[in-house]
Structure 1
Amino acid sequence: MGEDFLPYKTRLEYLGFDLRGIRLVPGSYTAQAFITTDLDDNQITAFHPGAMSASHTHAIDTVPDITMGVVSPDGREGMLQHARQFHEAGIPFLFDPGQGLPLFSGPELLVFLEQATWLAVNDYEAQLMANKTGLSFEQLATRVDAAIMTQGAQGSRVFTGNEVISIPAVPADQVVDPTGCGDAYRAGLVYGLSHHWDWNRTGRLASLLGSVKIACRGGQNHTLTRAQLNEKLQEKFGFSLDS
């Protein structure tokens, strides 16, 4: 993080996050993204990486007790090194390349898949990976334990083994802002994976969280208590976090 991190640090502490893995980079600002969204939810993003460019200098072994990882859009070297470090340490991780996909060649993406346990992409990113590697998404999916492809209002699909599991989209109360919906979906994936849920439950939790997010403006302004989430899960899918 950059020298402007303090107000956000206060917010994260208020929310109860463990900040032991965060390091400040002197002379840098925290990475910033400015996203313009039109009425059809098309987006243009202006991005300044700032302190993120130093992510490769921060090894995963500086944080104790890691049981699962996520390699998501970051500095190019940071993504390469953290994936390799997770793999060498025997720590399962989700490869979520997102906007970082154009940074890598086809062979480099295949190395990521050799190291990763799971893959998560949207339909556009899935096609981009296929174009870069020369392999279909179905072929790419065989290289990890499971590959998840989100498809917006059409829901999502989980490719695992010889099975393709369809996950329904949850209609939003209102569509306000798609920014951060993919991240909310991935929060559901991480929760389900870390609690050893099956893919039907994991995908449905992820789908619901994406639906909750899209009804709020901004990537982090939505709130949901455990009781409220359980109520929504029970209403939509007939299960809860505790059942």
Structure 2
Amino acid sequence: MSALISGSLAYDVIMRFPGRFGEHILPERIHTLSVAFMVTELRREFGGCAGNIAYTLHLLGEKALPVGAAGHDFAPYLKWLDEIGIDRSYIRQLDDVYTAQAFINTDDDGNQITAFHPGAMARAEEQPLPANSGARIGIVAPDGRDAMIQHAAQFAEAGIPFIFDPGQGLPMFDGEELERFIDQATWLAMNDYEAGVFCEKTRLGLEEIAERVQALIVTRGSRGSIIHVNGDTLQIPSVEPNAVVDPTGCGDAYRAGLLYGLLNDLEWEITGRIASLAGSIKVANRGTQNHSFTPGEFAARFEAAYGYSFH
């Protein structure tokens, strides 16, 4: 079974500064800031919401079909997708721009300075949803503004149920636009902070939003997640990770778990726990596409964590 995954494709350039940013910034001279930080660690990771979600869904044993746009520098990422067996038929490569890139510099206190270049992501609407992919469900994850609007409308027009995940794209939309997404989507997924912003922009309460979709999923980090469905509120516990190494991409792994449960018509209590475990496994690994497991290994970890099998 397959899922269409609309979202960003990006490179994450991760840097480590062995010191504290605050020791090199003079508050009284902040208006004329000119600072250089010598970094001792640097790595380039494959990322972006579509790539990350597709990666974990692929590990879970389902067919992931990422839909998005990349730039002229995308060859290494394409090679990676080919090596692991993810279909990249619906990724449009644009020859006149770079792939979206985030440059993240972290100091010893965990403070971060990030620069983000959207590149091809800003033109992701040039890649429409495929008409005959055979996908059962989909997701609209953070991407270029026009692409999120276009792909949500195309999912709705095609009658393909999909998750709407505004994520970091939330500031791009006003309340009226967000309500349109609610009416188009089948399910809605956000973290607790985003849920607060979403409610403020739409002037709707969580209960009102939940009544307009089949399920509203709100993640809360180490406190687990809450799924509002059929008038009930399900409390989904978190899973203690083997180590807390890197939370980046945890939400994407969680959403892959949601897609897996939906593709297999599992109950929400089980789907939420699969998603929670997927996020926990990701947290214990550096980068967003470096964790690894087979479907059998995942099933065994699920049984160890929850005391029963989801098969």
Question: Does TM-score exceed 0.5, indicating one fold?
Answer: yes
Out of 138, 144, 157, which is 1:69 matched to?
A: 138
Secondary structure at the residue paired with 1:61? coil
Q: Which position in structure 1 is the counterpart of 2:223? A: 154
Q: Which amino acid aligns with 2:281?
A: V
* Equivalent in the alignment of 1:198: 267
Give the whole-Å Cα distance in 1 for the aligned partners of 2:198 and 2:173. 10
Tell me which of 53, 78, 84 is aligned to 2:147.
78
* Bigger relative contact order (CA 8 A; separation at least 6): 2
Partner of 1:133: 202
Matched, 1:111 2:184: no
| CA apart distance, 1:46 | 2.6
- Could you tell me the TM-score, scaled by structure 1's length? 0.94
Specify which of 244, 247, 250 is matched with residue 181 of structure 1: 250
Q: Residues 75 and 27 of structure 1: is their aligned pair in 2 closer, same or farther, counting only changes over 3 Å?
A: same
AA partner of residue 208 (structure 1)? L
> Which deviates more, 42-51 or 2-11?
42-51
- TM-score, structure 2 normalization: 0.74
Within the alignment, does 1:230 sit opposite 2:299 as a pair?
yes
The structure with more strand, counted as a fraction of residues: 2
Aligned alpha-carbon RMSD (Å): 1.7
Q: Is the 8 A contact 2:128 2:151 kept in 1?
A: yes
Q: Structure 1 residues 233 and 88 mapped into 2: Cα distance closer, same or farther (>3 Å)?
A: same
Aligned residue pairs, count: 242
How far the C-alpha of 1:64 sits from its partner, in A, is 2.2
Q: Does 1:15 align with 2:84?
A: yes
Residue 17 of structure 2: aligned partner: none
* 1:33 counterpart = 2:98: no
Equivalent pairs: percent with the same residue? 52
C-alpha contact 2:141 2:165 (8 A) present in aligned 1? yes
Question: Are the structure 2 counterparts of residues 41 and 109 from structure 1 closer, same or farther at C-alpha, using a change threshold of 3 Å?
Answer: farther
CA distance in 2, matches of 1:128, 1:41: 25
Query: Residue 225 and residue 234 in structure 1: after superposition, are their counterparts in 2 closer, same or farther (change >3 A)?
Result: same
Amino acid at match of 1:110: E
Secondary structure at 1:23 match in 2: strand
Q: Is the 8 A contact 1:148 1:156 kept in 2?
A: yes
Q: Could you tell me whether the CA contact under 8 Å between 1:181 and 1:213 is conserved in 2? A: yes
Q: Which amino acid aligns with 2:160?
A: I
Aligned equivalents of 1:100, 1:41: Cα separation in 2: 24
Distance 1:215 1:24 in 2: 32
Q: 8 Å contact 1:150–1:156 — kept in the other structure?
A: yes
Q: What is the CA-CA distance between 1:220 and the residue it aligns to?
A: 1.1
Within 1, Cα distance between the matches of 2:176 and 2:158? 22
| Residues 114, 43 of structure 1: alpha-carbon distance in 2 compared, 3 angstrom cutoff | farther
Q: How far apart are residue 62 of structure 1 and its match? A: 5.3
Unaligned runs of 5+ in 1: none
Secondary structure at 2:170's aligned position in 1?
Answer: helix
Q: Indicate whether 1:216 and 2:285 are aligned.
A: yes
